[in-house]
């Protein structure tokens, strides 16, 4: 009879509903379409035939073999990502703890006592199996806490994915910065060589009387400035390598694959599509993280509400008891206890009410954080889309600038050597060429960095290889009976 009653209580507890508020996803505080205008027209036609960023694996987006290897090393060694993964494991364990509280804990115990008092020696022994202080979840408090723990685990896992996306973007950006500074270093080295030749030529022309000491000093000044830039870019390249080593969590290997250059940027990154703003709600991990935190706060309200109702606990055991070990399992030695208890809150100086108010306020805070996260995501994507098309036009103009500056320099140099133009004309041509070349490097780096930022902003980078659109998800696989 007692076992039947216990079974009924268990079934009732497991079927109990919770007092969680009905969850509704807050409306996204952004428009249903990306901004339109001159800054977005160029890319609109391109993006129509490309897969969504969240569906493109990082190996397919980053096409440079050297960069792929660096990202691979970072995912293996980076300490921030390792900590994020350990946080996920911790919260998964906390979820299992909360889930275990729903079921009774069954313990087995045994004892033997022998004592002597007033000249009499006596002994006793017992063995039992039972349940100790199991809370029967009639009002769903434990189920709310379990749901809260689950949502916190899912939120932490989404945070780990965010850390991974940020790490991949950081490694790629650091790598591109290295390529840019290497390109600038090469340009500066060529400029130093050209300035050295100009300086030597000007000295010879002065000796022949076709140039002045002023021209020599100007050539010397230009050469010194170029050498200063050369030292600066040499330092930048060394620091870029150090930054990259810190990002990947290990020294740069000597056997890295051959990679491309910044000027072959068309082959470094793949095209991606942006989809619509609503895609961000399920594909961008920081938004997924914020929503799970909101759901956890919602479940916390259910647990706070359940605290107003009686708390029912059950202690039960069955076993044997005897004055000697030999009679422990004989007929008539059986013993059992059945001790349910109930605790009813009557007067707590407003503690439960204040706890519920705190839970409601925290939910409102999570709603505001969730909406803010969506707004930030929308802004980042919109800025990335504006940059994607305009940087294309800007780098095209930069290349025309370099071509024109190179032709101007070639003509000015030839005319100076023939004595047709002054040294000031040649000096202006040298500066224009150097400025044009550096401007192309800077804008190319900005273009590629913007594409990486856009890829991350759209939720790309959570998978290694591309997946079908319907399979894209940042949610962990977890059985939640």
Per-residue pLDDT tens over the stretch 291-337 = 999 999 999 999 999 989 988 888 887 767 665 555 556 665 667 78
Model pLDDT, residue 203? 86
Model pLDDT, residue 64? 92
Question: Distance between CA 23 and CA 20 in Å, rounded?
Answer: 8
Residue 339 pairs with which residues in a beta bridge? Answer: 315
Q: Is residue 299 part of a domain?
A: yes
Q: Is residue 49 part of a domain?
A: yes
Q: Is residue 328 part of a domain?
A: no
Model pLDDT, residue 44? 43
Residues with pLDDT less than 70, the chain: 1-17, 41-49, 111-112, 121-128, 265-266, 319, 321-334, 468-481
The residues, any chain, with a CB within 8 Å of residue 55's CB and separated by 6 or more, are 466, 467, 468, 469, 472
Q: Which domain holds residue 256?
A: 2-110+139-306+365-471
What is the tally of structural domains in the chain?
A: 1
Q: Is residue 323 part of a domain?
A: no
C-alpha R_g of the chain: 36
Q: Find the CATH number of the domain harbouring 100.
A: 1.20.1600.10
Q: Is residue 221 part of a domain?
A: yes
C-alpha distance across the termini of the chain, in Å = 29
The residues, any chain, with a CB within 8 Å of residue 411's CB and separated by 6 or more, are 429
* CA proximity to 52, closest of 271, 267, 268, 269: 271
Model pLDDT, residue 42? 47
Model pLDDT, residue 136? 84
Write down the residue that tokens 């079974």 correspond to.
7
Q: Is residue 45 part of a domain?
A: yes
Q: Is residue 443 part of a domain?
A: yes
Q: Is residue 312 part of a domain?
A: no
Model pLDDT, residue 399? 95
In contact, 304 and 359? CB cutoff 8 Å: yes
Predicted structure pTM score? 0.84
């Amino acid at each position: 009879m007692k076992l039947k009653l216990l079974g009924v209580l268990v079934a009732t507890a497991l079927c109990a509903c919770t007092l969680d508020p009905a969850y509704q996803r807050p409306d996204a505080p952004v428009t249903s379409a990306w901004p339109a205008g001159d800054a977005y027209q160029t890319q609109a036609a391109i993006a129509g035939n490309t897969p969504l960023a969240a569906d493109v694996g990082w190996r397919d987006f980053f096409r440079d073999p050297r960069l792929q290897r660096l990202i691979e090393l970072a995912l293996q060694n980076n300490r921030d990502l390792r900590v994020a993964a350990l946080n996920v494991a911790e919260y998964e364990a906390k979820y299992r703890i909360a889930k275990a509280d729903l079921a009774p804990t069954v313990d087995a115990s045994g004892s033997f006592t022998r004592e002597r008092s007033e000249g009499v020696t006596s002994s006793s022994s017992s063995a039992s199996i039972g349940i100790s202080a199991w809370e029967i979840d009639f009002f769903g408090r434990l189920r709310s806490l379990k749901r809260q723990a689950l949502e916190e685990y899912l939120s932490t896992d989404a945070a780990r994915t965010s850390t991974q996306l940020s790490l991949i973007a950081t490694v790629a950006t650091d790598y591109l910065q290295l390529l840019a500074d290497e390109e600038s270093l090469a340009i500066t080295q060529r400029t130093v060589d050209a300035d050295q030749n100009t300086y030597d030529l000007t000295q010879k022309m002065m000796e022949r009387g076709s140039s002045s000491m002023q021209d020599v000093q100007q050539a010397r000044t230009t050469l010194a400035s170029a050498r200063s830039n050369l030292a600066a870019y040499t330092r930048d390249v060394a620091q870029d390598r150090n930054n990259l080593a810190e990002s990947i969590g290990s020294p740069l290997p000597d056997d890295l694959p051959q990679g491309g250059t910044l000027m072959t940027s068309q082959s470094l990154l793949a095209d991606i599509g942006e989809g619509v703003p609503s895609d961000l709600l399920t594909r961008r991990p920081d938004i997924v993280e914020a929503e799970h935190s909101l759901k956890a706060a919602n479940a916390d309200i259910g647990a706070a509400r359940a605290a107003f109702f009686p708390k029912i606990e059950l202690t039960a055991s069955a076993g044997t008891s005897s004055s000697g070990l030999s009679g422990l399992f004989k007929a008539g030695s059986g013993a059992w206890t059945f001790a349910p208890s109930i605790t009813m809150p009557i007067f707590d100086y407003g503690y439960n009410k204040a706890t519920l108010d705190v839970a409601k306020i925290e939910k409102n805070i999570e709603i505001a954080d969730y909406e803010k996260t969506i707004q930030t995501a929308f802004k980042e994507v919109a800025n990335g889309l504006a940059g994607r098309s305009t940087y294309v036009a800007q780098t095209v103009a930069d290349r025309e600038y370099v071509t024109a500056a190179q032709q101007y320099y070639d003509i000015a140099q030839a005319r100076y050597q023939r004595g047709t133009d002054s040294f000031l004309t040649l000096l202006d041509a040298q500066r224009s060429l150097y400025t044009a070349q550096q401007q192309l490097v800077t804008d190319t780096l900005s273009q590629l960095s913007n594409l990486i930022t856009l890829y991350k902003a759209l939720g790309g980078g959570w998978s290694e290889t591309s997946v079908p659109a319907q399979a894209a998800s940042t949610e962990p696989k977890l059985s939640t009976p």
